[in-house]
A and B are shown apart, each in its own frame.
Chain A
């Protein structure tokens, strides 16, 4: 065996220049080959699906942008109707141009619309601030209290020179945000207490908590809303009326509380028993144990199902339409009752779904980040 130096060219062949790997084995082309065109069947499926995707994307762009009508004068929708039935149909965004303030703010007095608009901004700012970890201090509770008070003052008015606006005139996005925010803000602490109660060793508390959770989970949200709006007033003396929105809000809190309680209980049960025993061995009281050892770990475990429930509830608030409260979705539906605008539901539903999507997608992205950050210690 003779040693052939590695860097000598063999038999006078000039040294080969370093070459790219064959284009067919790496890079995007290879990826396409391996995943989309690996066999004749795959190729056929890819081509058929690509054809449909391109075709529908083109017709959607045509419909939504190129052929669309963006505004009409004075509720004259004939142009929109003609377009809808023509060979090249287009969206009538004029319905949004005309009705966007009604969809967003409902029957709130028109000249006072800056107030619910400010309320929506305040809510969104509150979410953003609460989401940043650097603001996670006790002062945040003060910020919440102040902001929610400001929101109440803005919506009701009657002080500081703001005119009084009764609750039945509220509508649109602020109603959705109020129901979701207050609902979850009150349901979450309730849920933690109920979850702890369900695992309590005291039989009375445990039975009460189990009964509450099972009763609420055993009926649909709609029936609770009906109870709150249709049957509950009949139990009160005549003339004593509790605000309709408040009744719906309490129903939402009770319902969300029961579902969140089960999520939290899942987290409590997932913790190894050693954690409880170690905390007790340190001589911590029940509340110290729960507050410092158990809950921080348990809640971190259940971020995905918690956010899942949050997102579900944000959308469930639209069920208040059955008791005559104008949330975002109901306001949108009511906007197209007017004869001139009947039949433009698709445009209105698209606009509303965009708003819902923004809030829900933000929640979902944020929870992914939070989960990654809080569970970093597991990924060492």
Chain B
């Protein structure tokens, strides 16, 4: 132990040098992924799930006035905890920033990252990470003042558009404009608050970012009805929980917790009626999912009544959505069940 401070000092000094050699990061990043230790067993032994969340994003993860984490992503942490322990509160939330999130996962500081992260090929492969399904289909859209009468994005030809710099948002906008022969003048502002006030004060005709972000901004305006989110979505941003390579069983569990939430909505199982459904429902798939027969839980390495515990703790996918995202004005849209037109949330069969 006495070696620790010395090593830290040395690394601090080395690090100052190494910061110029950041190219080495991906190579270093892959190193911890090699271990084959079971993450699920480690979680069970520890007695808590460590969940990386956003430091604060309306609707997805934010501490309330009493410091309790709430939001759509937070419910996924609670659901996984409920599946493993039967108790949704055995979670430690670690706030992570956009820069620190992947390291936190790679180094084992967190077990799972429920932090609105877009599923892309490079993240899935070179970072040594795995995605546990898509729990929210997001995409870049536009918001305009209702009074302008603009109905589709292509009518924005010649408009002034507010956009944040340095993100894929700016690139998506340029790509889309070129592909669709739309001329526009960008107003590029770094800070979100200033960007929104530039839009609100009329400096830009339209404001572009992910649809979930647009909805959150719209709901915080004095009169949300004065603003319209256009139906066009110009990029794909599938968000989902993120895991590190090394324990496929834990990845399976995270994936099937999501499917259980979606399937529960499909079967009409809610937080209120889950106990009754588990006892009385006669549909074979419901019986298998809720652990009455089939032993699906054991295959996942958790108690057979895992799905009952999850739904009792958080409700089904639709209930979670209604609790956290509908109040800030996000419509189901592509996140509706596959049984409704335009919906893409689809659970794999429980058998």
Contacts and interface: CB of A to CB of B under 8 A. Distances in A.
Contacts of A166: 92
A330 B16 contact: no
Contact of B15 (A108, A232, A321): A232
A334 B32 contact: no
Interface string B22-35: 00010011011001
A338 B67 contact: no
A102 B32 contact: no
A62 interface: no
Contact of B222 (A82, A241, A334): A82
Interface residues of B, number: 54
Contacts of B55: 321, 324, 326, 330, 334
Interface string B12-51: 1101111100000100110110010100001000000000
A337 B96 CA distance: 15
B107 A236 contact: yes
A242 to B, nearest CB: 8
Contact of A98 (B17, B42, B65): B65
Nearest to B329: A339
Interface in B41-85: 42, 55-59, 62-69
A266 interface: no
B311 interface: no
Contact of A234 (B12, B19, B32, B69): B32
B195 interface: no
Q: How large is the interface on A (under 10, 10 to 19, 20 to 34, 35 or more residues)?
A: 35 or more
B11 A334 contact: no
B220 A234 contact: no
A215 interface: yes
A231 B100 contact: no
Contact of B109 (A241, A251, A330): A241
B99 interface: yes
Contacts of B96: 324
A254 B9 contact: yes
Interface in A290-339: 321-326, 330, 333-335, 337-339
B67 A250 contact: no
A230 interface: yes
A71 interface: no
Contacts of A260: none
B28 A235 contact: yes
Nearest to B61: A337
B343 interface: no
Interface string A201-243: 0000000000110011011000110111111111111110110
A339 B222 contact: no
Contacts of A110: 66-68
B67 A109 contact: yes
A238 B32 contact: yes
Contacts of A235: 11, 28
B56 A230 contact: no
Given A223-B19, A339-B219, A324 B100 contact: yes
A234 B67 contact: no
Contact of B37 (A107, A219, A238): A238
Contact of B12 (A82, A250, A333): A250
Given A254-B9, A343-B220, A102 B25 contact: no
Contact of B108 (A218, A239, A324): A239
B100 A229 contact: yes
A239 B37 contact: yes
A227 B220 contact: no
Contacts of B17: 215
A89 to B, nearest CB: 12
A337 B18 CA distance: 35
Contacts of A229: 100, 103
A342 interface: yes
A81 interface: yes
A223 B99 CA distance: 12
B25 to A, nearest CB: 7
Interface centre among A166, A226, A338 (most CB of B within 10 A): A338
Contacts of B59: 339
B8 interface: yes
Given A110-B67, A339-B328, 6 more contacts: A107-B93, A216-B16, A232-B8, A233-B103, A238-B35, A338-B62
11 contacts: A107-B68, A168-B92, A226-B19, A227-B15, A231-B18, A231-B28, A236-B107, A250-B5, A324-B55, A337-B62, A345-B193
Interface of A: 81-82, 84-85, 98-99, 101-102, 105-110, 166, 168-169, 171, 211-212, 215-216, 218-219, 223-224, 226-239, 241-242, 244, 247, 250-251, 254, 321-326, 330, 333-335, 337-339, 342-343, 345
- Listed from nearest, the 6 A-B pairs whose CB atoms lie closest are A233-B107, A227-B15, A342-B220, A337-B56, A107-B67, A334-B56
